[in-house]
Amino acid sequence: MNAAQMVTALKEKFGEAVLSTVEFRGEQTLNVTPAMTKPVLKYCHDELSFDYLVDISSVDHSGEEPRFEMVYELYGYSHNEHLRVKCRVADEVEVPTVSDIWPTANWHEREIYDMMGIKFEGHPDLRRILMWDGYPYFPLRKEFPLAGLPSEMPDVAFSGIAPMADGPFVTSPGAADTVTREPRSKRDV
């Protein structure tokens, strides 16, 4: 069974819970309801033998509702197929952990909690993983400034605001000539 057939099987099995499917250059993506995300992932692991959770990421669609999106990248070593499962989650809503299905999800979910502030229901050890315990912000959220924000934890760590010096310097890949393609300050002056 290839990935496209698996998507068909999942649509038959879960019906309404599969909101939409996308195929882009052979990549299969499944949009599912938040409530059914974990059962779908469990089925992918147990029945469709997606034994490798490549990555979990999260997207901040700031200004939209629901605000966040979870993205699960699955892979199966027995059939060499990829599958992407997405679900939208609202702010302040806890997402069920998948660390009981794939143990590797433990650290992926800690990173998402650390950077984006999404909490995971049933996670065995939901602590920050990159920033220190007690850091007050979630740096990958859209409202967090690129230069950072000051914070202070005596004897643990502190943080400051980076001087942007006219940055960030952004390239324009589609531009006509090399001079315009060079990284330039895009700050409004």
Q: Residue numbers of the site for other proteins (CB under 8 A)?
A: 130-132, 137, 139, 144-149, 155-160, 162-165, 167-168
Q: How many residues does the chain have?
A: 189
In eight-state DSSP terms, residue 167 is -
The DSSP bridge pattern shows strands 169-170 and 27-32 to be unpaired
Closest distance to other proteins from the beta carbon of 96 (Å): 29
- 80's CB contacts (< 8 A; 6+ apart) are none
- 117's CB contacts (< 8 A; 6+ apart) are 138, 141
Closest distance to other proteins from the beta carbon of 132 (Å): 6
Please identify, using beta-carbon distances, which residue of 90 and 162 lies nearer to other proteins: 162
Please identify, using beta-carbon distances, which residue of 4 and 170 lies nearer to other proteins: 170
Closest distance to other proteins from the beta carbon of 81 (Å): 36
Read out DSSP for 81-126?
EEEEEEEEE-TTPPEEP-TTT-TTHHHHHHHHHHHH---EET-TT-
Please identify, using beta-carbon distances, which residue of 49 and 159 lies nearer to other proteins: 159
Query: Quick one: angle between helices 34-46 and 3-14, nearest 10?
Result: 130
Please identify, using beta-carbon distances, which residue of 9 and 140 lies nearer to other proteins: 140
Closest distance to other proteins from the beta carbon of 130 (Å): 8
Closest distance to other proteins from the beta carbon of 40 (Å): 34
Please identify, using beta-carbon distances, which residue of 13 and 141 lies nearer to other proteins: 141
